Structure 1
């Protein structure tokens, strides 16, 4: 006589959840002892040669020719050669929150925390900003937009006249101003000297900005103060 059917090992509990997990049932059924033999696929090997008929008498009539010829040139050294690229990087677009006259907060560098005024975007995509210098000591400089925070404070600089020569090449130093090294024990360090042209351009921009700053109450004090965070303050929760 046939015995009673036994209950399944893995019962379904309330909520449709099994009593044992998949790995537990794998161990209970001893499935790890069963060897799985995979059937090997009969993949015929690809031929390396092809038979080429040869015309003419006393030539053997056929030749075995390689299907894939080996290269004639082998490099003597395994050095990767740099391939010239045809891509020309374009300057990135300025964020919509950054418009001419917007007050920005510097996030890195020796002037970190200072508030500056955005003047325009240069051809390289960098931002031309200034403190002005007579207010907080920040001269005409180029800044990447990823290192600034745009505030809601803006100045109307539509009447501001920026010198024509202020461009990316305007900020590059000449070879004579760079320290080329030399004797390690000699005092060959030369301090950077600002040219008279840059001093005049800075003075002209500062005088124009000061007249605009005076028209806005408490703007000079706002630009001269540094931005800093206190305990419990988070930039992503603040409105600038």
Structure 2
């Protein structure tokens, strides 16, 4: 490539013009690159291993090469699916079923019979062709605009059918400490285990004012003090016995300001059950060797003072 450049010089009154041309020569070099294989030019191709009979040796652990940390890439369960062993097991199962049947040799010969998509239907009339091919299954005339949600079957048992488990320290006759509710801090005696998973306890009411009531076992502390209630028979005391009866609803528009909350009163049946249960518990306390000390123990309240650590106490 040439680029002309002109220079003008004035000498006296004459002008002289000089032109110089510079040529630039580009040299192009071509480099030929040879693509080598992944193994390299000098590497040897490994021949597959064969047995004495000439069969190829299959390495079942080819995909289970060790990583840098020395662990296998895939587990045994993952390799079970990668090697498709479940298909072999299924094929073996089908072969075992077909052993008695001599007409069928392989499981691949089993084919499901499908109903034809079209079937012939006779058509009345002289000019209608006498028969016509129609669909064996008609297409639906109505398609829903939205997909219906699938109903999944949830295998969950109702709360009423859940198994009831009680702590081994909360047997009938055990003295417990109530830690929540109206009578928190008081001591009571476990009378019975109910089917709902609750504990039936009583003070007795004559000693410390704790009535016959149901308590969740997470709100009590079991102690090592026990009395013998094996002879007590209290079959009539169950969850239905303690079910609350709701009063009938009144008209809300009438007596809005004059309305007062009515206090629920105990029925005679509930009072009689309290007397009979307390009598059974008091007789068991009386039969105890330390009955006098036990009565004082049930009347006292549970308290904590400064420096007393609850987790180090022995109840």
Query: What interval of TM-score do these two structures reach, taking the shorter chain for normalisation?
Result: 0.5 to 0.7
Q: Distance in 2 between matches of 1:202 and 1:169?
A: 16
Of 103, 106, 121, 2:178 maps to: 106
Of 102, 115, 127, 2:199 maps to: 127
Which position in structure 2 is the counterpart of 1:222? 297
CA shift for structure 1 position 179: 7.7
The root-mean-square deviation of aligned C-alpha atoms, in Å, is 2.9
CA shift for structure 1 position 84: 7.3
Q: Distance in 2 between matches of 1:221 and 1:180?
A: 47
Is the contact made by 1:181 and 1:188 (CA closer than 8 Å) also made in structure 2?
A: no
| Secondary structure of the corresponding residue to residue 220 of structure 1 | helix
Q: Distance in 1 between matches of 2:261 and 2:249?
A: 7
| Secondary structure of the corresponding residue to residue 169 of structure 1 | coil
Which position in structure 2 is the counterpart of 1:166? 237
Which position in structure 1 is the counterpart of 2:313? 238
Q: Distance in 2 between matches of 1:105 and 1:179?
A: 38
Q: 1:146 to 1:174 in 2, by over 3 A?
A: same
CA shift for structure 1 position 124: 0.4
Q: Distance in 2 between matches of 1:96 and 1:226?
A: 24
CA shift for structure 1 position 188: 2.5
Higher relative contact order (CA 8 A, sep 6+): 1
Q: Comparing 91-100 with 122-131, which one deviates more in the overlay?
A: 91-100
CA shift for structure 1 position 234: 2.1
Is the contact made by 1:103 and 1:115 (CA closer than 8 Å) also made in structure 2?
A: yes
Question: Which residues of 2 match residues 4-83 of structure 1 at below 5 A?
Answer: 72-74=144-146
CA shift for structure 1 position 181: 8.7
Is the contact made by 2:165 and 2:197 (CA closer than 8 Å) also made in structure 1?
A: yes
TM score, norm. by length of structure 2: 0.48
TM score, norm. by length of structure 1: 0.62
Q: Distance in 2 between matches of 1:185 and 1:84?
A: 49
Q: Does 1:212 align with 2:284?
A: yes
Is the contact made by 1:128 and 1:143 (CA closer than 8 Å) also made in structure 2?
A: yes
Q: Distance in 1 between matches of 2:177 and 2:223?
A: 8
CA shift for structure 1 position 72: 3.9
Q: 1:200 to 1:103 in 2, by over 3 A?
A: same
Which position in structure 2 is the counterpart of 1:94? 166
Q: Distance in 2 between matches of 1:116 and 1:126?
A: 14
Count of residue pairs the alignment pairs up: 167
| Greater Rg by CA | 2
CA shift for structure 1 position 187: 3.0
Deviations 1:5-51 (A, max 9, x none): xxxxxxxxxxxxxxxxxxxxxxxxxxxxxxxxxxxxxxxxxxxxxxx
Q: 1:172 to 1:181 in 2, by over 3 A?
A: farther
Which position in structure 1 is the counterpart of 2:274? 202
